[in-house]
């Protein structure tokens, strides 16, 4: 069943979840990204690809609220269906949004996990942050999420430092998805992992994101990851988007010469 | 406030040791702390002629609020006769010429480390705590910029995670000291290293409670009759420590007990940690099992 091919045009009929206009970030005079505009629809997974230094992480961090853009607008449709101007939100509200409706999967699990706290505590934190006060229920939900990311229940009281890199990454994903966010940002979610571990994690991510109907923006320099995980692609070069389109179209029939170079580089590898 | 040194005090110091400008600075921080219950107010902590860890935060607060007609009590681990308590009491007797006491009800200012007296405090008393670590989130979040935001926005999920970790590891909330509490429904506070046994006493206490952390340069307060709620889980409610037997000296069944060694053979007994409370009860004729057994033999309740 060609889910992706059928889904994207249908999604386009609904209102966008995220609307980005002219997003620009300069580090002093150094351009990070410039003039980025796009829309993300509910349930859609958008990939951002491009060579090192092309501005992928800069863009993602601006979108995720980790970095203040120099210019531009970000609008997010909240659960009430209202469009909120993310950059104009007071900080406490933006932080609330970030830990409930949004989630960020960091490339390095250490940036996304509390290493001194047990796996269960890591997964439970978002529940407690929104006021859950029943230990038994928090623990049961944490156990459920650990099993969904294929971490044995017996490891619930172990600290992440006792986990392998792949497990840490899966724990990070459970820690975020437990709050059932509607939008997840991922920066190289499979970077730094062995190829076999990468494949497993990708499978898991794909299933979870599809099951929960989550929208996601995924930065990767790995076109195989982009092909497996994303519906649509934005190709970046020197801080600008040079090509966008459905993932299969961009990868199989690239129009911009830079994208042609990128895709052929993968074929050679 | 008086500038004059009384005849018994050391004239080379200003009244209560600190200069008037410093006292005013501390009082301003205190007023702000009282206005925003549980909020940690930064202040310009001064060097004191006592080693840090001896409660310089509490001493500075006491110095800033004490007047010539105040009566000071100082306790350490509940006892008035430990080295720390005695030196602080002597210090203020010398630099402020104030009267000191061991009797809780006679004191107008009680400076404490580790305990809240067992006897209920009244509206004309002030309790001054010596605080080593004022930030309840510090163990979980080392970044000051982040903890400040968490307090500012009331983001206390992480505090709950600390209690979660306790239950996961020990089957119950094992934190027995410095047990986090929500003040006035707004700020989570570290109640110094008092045992959680004392947490309920802070709730709606008629006396003003002031907290001073010298090394960390923070002051916070619980105004009289303010709600102080110990954090917990619905299915693991907050509980204080209980002992299977009463104080062996005075028979009190409602006080916090210390285990003390009583002879060279290592025999032990459980006695009130609040020595004034224990002595007061014995003076009223209450007797514990130890005194019943060794009637006539003089025993004191001094501990640690
Ligand atoms: N903190 C910073 N200060 C100054 N310049 C920066 C900073 N971070 C990134 N840049 C610059 O901004 C541009 C975009 O960098 P960015 O990290 O977004 O690229 P990227 O596409 O994520 O690269 P990679 O694939 O290597 O992670 C680069 O020229 C980079 O040198
Ligand atoms: Mg990057
Ligand atoms: Zn006693």
pLDDT digits (tens, 9 = 90+) for A196-251: 888 888 888 888 888 899 999 999 988 989 999 999 999 999 999 999 999 999 99
Query: pLDDT value at position B304?
Result: 39
pLDDT in tens, A92-131: 999 999 988 999 999 899 999 999 999 999 999 999 999 9
Complex confidence, ipTM = 0.86
- Complete domains list, chain B, with CATH: 20-137+176-226 (3.40.50.11310), 242-304 (no CATH)
| Number of the ligand closest to the Cα of A236 | 1
Contact assessment for residue A191 and residue A169, using Cβ atoms and an 8 Å cutoff: no
- Among candidates A74, A84, A94, A1, which has minimal Cα distance to A33? A74
Name the DSSP class of B248.
Answer: T
Exposed / middle / buried, residue A209 (Cβ in 10 Å: 0-12, 13-18, 19+): buried
Contact assessment for residue B290 and residue B300, using Cβ atoms and an 8 Å cutoff: no
Contact assessment for residue B64 and residue B53, using Cβ atoms and an 8 Å cutoff: no
- Span A65-72, average pLDDT: 95
Query: pLDDT value at position B283?
Result: 96
Does the beta-carbon distance from B157 to A128 stay under 8 Å? yes
Query: pLDDT value at position B192?
Result: 83
Q: Which of A113, A116, A120, A121 to mutate to test the interface with B (most CBs of B within 10 A)?
A: A121
- The per-residue pLDDT of chain A, averaged, comes to 91
Strands A71-77 and A83-85: antiparallel
Q: Contacts of residue B157 in chain A, CB cutoff 8 Å?
A: 125-126, 128-130
Strands B41-42 and A102-105: unpaired
Q: Which of A133, A142, A160 to mutate to test the interface with B (most CBs of B within 10 A)?
A: A133
Query: pLDDT value at position B106?
Result: 97
Residues with beta carbon < 5 A to ion ligand 2?
A 57
In A41-191, DSSP assigns E strands to 45-50, 71-77, 83-85, 102-105, 183-187
Query: pLDDT value at position B34?
Result: 98
Query: pLDDT value at position A5?
Result: 43
Give contacts of B 135-154 with A, CB under 8 A.
140, 149, 152-153
Query: pLDDT value at position B294?
Result: 62
Q: In what order do the strands lie in the sheet with A30-40?
A: A30-40, A18-27, A71-77, A83-85
State phi, psi for B99 to the nearest 5 degrees. -75, 145
pLDDT band, very low/low/confident/very high, at A269 (cuts 50, 70, 90):
very low
- CA A242 to ligand 1 centroid distance, Å: 17
Does the beta-carbon distance from B155 to A91 stay under 8 Å? no
| Number of the ligand closest to the Cα of B250 | 3
pLDDT in tens, A160-195: 999 999 999 999 999 999 999 999 999 999 887 888
Mean pLDDT by 10 residues, chain B (304 residues): 46 83 96 98 86 80 96 93 91 94 97 95 97 92 93 94 96 92 97 93 98 94 98 96 94 95 88 96 92 57 42
Contact assessment for residue B23 and residue B61, using Cβ atoms and an 8 Å cutoff: no
Of A114, A128, A133, the CB nearest to B234: A133
In B48-120, DSSP assigns E strands to 71-76, 99-100, 109-113
- For chain A, the 3-state helix, strand and coil shares in percent, each to the nearest 5, are 45, 25, 30
Pocket of ligand 1 (CB under 6 A): A 27, 30, 32, 50, 52-58, 221
Ligand 1 atom nearest residue A54's Cα:
21
- Complete domains list, chain A, with CATH: 3-101+181-268 (3.40.50.300), 111-180 (no CATH)
State phi, psi for A32 to the nearest 5 degrees. -95, -60
């Amino acid at each position: 069943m060609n889910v992706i091919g059928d889904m994207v045009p249908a999604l386009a009929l609904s209102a966008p979840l995220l609307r980005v206009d002219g997003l620009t970030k300069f580090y002093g005079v150094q351009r990070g990204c410039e003039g980025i505009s796009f829309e993300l629809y509910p349930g859609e997974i958008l990939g951002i690809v491009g060579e090192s230094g092309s501005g992928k992480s800069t863009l993602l961090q601006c979108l995720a609220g980790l970095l203040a853009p120099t210019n531009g607008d970000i609008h997010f449709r909240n659960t009430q269906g209202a469009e909120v101007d993310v950059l104009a939100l007071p900080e406490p509200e933006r932080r609330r949004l970030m830990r409930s409706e949004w989630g960020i999967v960091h490339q390095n699990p250490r940036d996304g996990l509390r290493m001194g706290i047990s796996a269960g505590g890591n997964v439970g934190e978002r529940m407690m942050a929104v006021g859950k006060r029943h230990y038994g229920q928090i623990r049961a939900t944490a156990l459920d999420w650990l099993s969904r990311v294929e971490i044995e229940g017996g490891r619930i009281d172990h600290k992440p430092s006792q986990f392998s890199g792949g497990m840490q990454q899966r724990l990070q994903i459970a820690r975020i998805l437990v709050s059932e966010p509607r939008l997840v940002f991922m920066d190289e979610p499979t970077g730094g992992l062995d190829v076999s571990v990468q494949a497993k994690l990708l499978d898991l991510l794909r299933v979870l994101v599809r099951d929960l109907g989550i929208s996601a923006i995924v930065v990767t320099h790995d076109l195989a990851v982009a092909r497996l995980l994303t519906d649509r692609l934005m190709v970046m070069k020197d801080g600008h988007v040079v090509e966008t389109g459905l993932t299969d179209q961009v990868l199989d029939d690239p129009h911009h010469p830079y994208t042609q170079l990128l895709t052929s580089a993968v074929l050679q590898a | 406030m008086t500038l004059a040194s009384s005849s018994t005090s050391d004239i080379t110091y200003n009244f209560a040791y600190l200069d008037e400008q410093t006292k005013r600075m501390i009082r301003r921080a205190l007023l702000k702390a009282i206005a925003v219950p549980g909020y940690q107010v930064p202040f310009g902590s001064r060097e004191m002629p006592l080693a840090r860890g001896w409660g310089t935060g509490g001493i500075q607060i006491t110095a800033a609020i004490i007047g010539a007609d105040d009566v000071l009590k100082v306790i350490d681990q509940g006892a008035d006769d430990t080295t720390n308590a005695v030196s602080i009491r002597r210090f203020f007797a010398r630099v402020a010429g104030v009267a000191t006491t061991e009797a809780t009800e006679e004191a107008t200012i009680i400076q404490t480390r580790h305990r809240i007296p067992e006897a209920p405090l009244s509206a004309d008393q002030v309790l001054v705590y010596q605080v080593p670590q004022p930030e309840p989130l510090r163990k979980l979040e080392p970044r000051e910029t982040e903890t400040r935001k968490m307090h500012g926005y009331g983001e206390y999920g992480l505090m709950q995670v600390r209690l979660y970790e306790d239950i996961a590891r020990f089957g119950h909330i094992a934190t027995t000291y410095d047990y986090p509490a929500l003040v006035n429904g707004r700020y989570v506070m570290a109640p110094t290293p008092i045992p959680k046994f004392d947490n309920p006493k802070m709730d709606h206490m008629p006396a003003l409670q002031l907290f001073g952390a010298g090394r960390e340069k923070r002051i916070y307060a619980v105004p009289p009759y303010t709600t102080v709620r110990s954090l917990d889980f619905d299915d693991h409610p907050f509980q204080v420590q209980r002992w299977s037997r009463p104080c062996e000296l005075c028979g009190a069944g409602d006080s916090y007990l210390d285990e003390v060694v009583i002879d060279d053979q290592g025999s032990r007994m459980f006695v009130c940690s609040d020595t004034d409370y224990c002595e007061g009860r014995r003076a009223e004729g209450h007797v514990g099992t130890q005194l019943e057994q060794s009637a006539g033999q003089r025993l004191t309740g001094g501990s640690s």
